[in-house]
């Protein structure tokens, strides 16, 4: 296991403190130093094995180093394929993935927009909602976490994740409790759009699920 240990935990903590912003916080007095990972398992520097029920906060949805993904990545790297290209240039994977996603999604959902993070995905959701409704207000749940960008942070309702204070960026955000779908639906009535067609549209979506 020592093969995987190039820095001690103390060195990592000290280096992070010196060279990274304080918002990159480890929260724990003695944070877990993850040295190795395979599928649903992670190991610390002492070789202790853990079941990873955290998934990198939902970002490692396919597990760590899944053999099929690893094989494809290794082949790609060995062939000196590009690590990244702008969408202005052509490269197979993005088109291939979009076509695969389209096969998995319900009829009518045939176009993908890829992002690097949950925050960007939520930014896109806000943009699409605004374009579709031609309104700017957003209903966000109390106690919610939606991301670390300016747009998504305006929806976040946890003081620990609202860096830089509120500074007016929450304008147009309506907060509603989420004690259940029925209460959400009722409380949303107060901020429904004026146009009857739009009101019906929003109501219909609140009834879904």
Answer yes or no whether residue 118 interacts with ligand PLP by CB under 6 A. Answer: yes
CA distance 146 to 140: 9
153 touching ligand PLP, by CB under 6 A: no
Closest C-alpha to 198, from 119, 148, 153, 132:
132
User: Does 151 engage in binding with ligand PLP (CB under 6 A)?
Assistant: no
CA dihedral 46, 49, 55, 61 (to 10 degrees): 120
List 44's β-bridge partners, or say none. 34
Query: Which range in 19-27, 36-44, 69-77, 142-150 contacts ligand PLP by CB under 6 A?
Result: 142-150
Distance CA 192, CA 201 (A): 10
Out of 9, 38, 45, 119, the only residue in the binding site for ligand PLP (CB under 6 A) is 119
147 binds ligand PLP (CB under 6 A): yes
- Rounded to a whole number of angstroms, the minimum distance from the CB of residue 151 to ligand PLP is 11
**In Å, how far are 140, 162, 180, 207 from 184, measured between CA atoms?**
10, 23, 6, 10
CA 142-146-150 angle, 5° bins: 110
Please say which residue, 175 or 203, places its beta carbon nearer to ligand PLP: 175
Q: How far is the CB of 37 from ligand PLP (least distance, A)?
A: 18
Provide the minimum distance between the beta carbon of 78 and ligand PLP in the complex, in angstroms, as a whole number. Answer: 29
Residues within the interface to ligand PLP (CB under 6 A): 57-59, 117-119, 122, 145-148
């Amino acid at each position: 296991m020592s093969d995987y240990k190039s820095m001690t935990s103390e060195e990592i903590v000290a280096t992070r403190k010196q060279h990274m912003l304080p918002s990159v916080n480890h929260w724990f007095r003695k944070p877990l130093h993850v040295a190795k990972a395979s599928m649903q398992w992670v190991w610390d520097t002492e070789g202790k094995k853990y079941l990873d029920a955290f998934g990198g906060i939902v970002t490692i949805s396919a597990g760590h180093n899944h053999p099929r993904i690893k094989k494809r990545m290794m082949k790609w790297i060995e062939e000196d394929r590009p690590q990244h290209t702008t969408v202005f240039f052509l490269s197979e994977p993005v088109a291939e993935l979009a076509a695969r996603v389209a096969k998995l999604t319900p009829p009518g959902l045939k176009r993908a927009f890829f992002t690097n993070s949950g925050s960007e995905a939520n930014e896109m959701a806000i943009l699409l909602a605004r374009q579709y409704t031609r309104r700017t207000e957003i209903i966000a749940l109390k106690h919610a976490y939606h991301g670390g960008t300016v747009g998504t942070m305006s929806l976040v309702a946890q003081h620990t994740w609202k860096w830089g204070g509120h500074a007016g960026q929450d304008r147009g955000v309506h907060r509603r409790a989420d004690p259940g779908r029925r209460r959400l639906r009722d409380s949303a009535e107060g901020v429904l759009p004026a146009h009857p067609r739009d009101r019906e549209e929003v109501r219909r979506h609140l009834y879904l699920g």
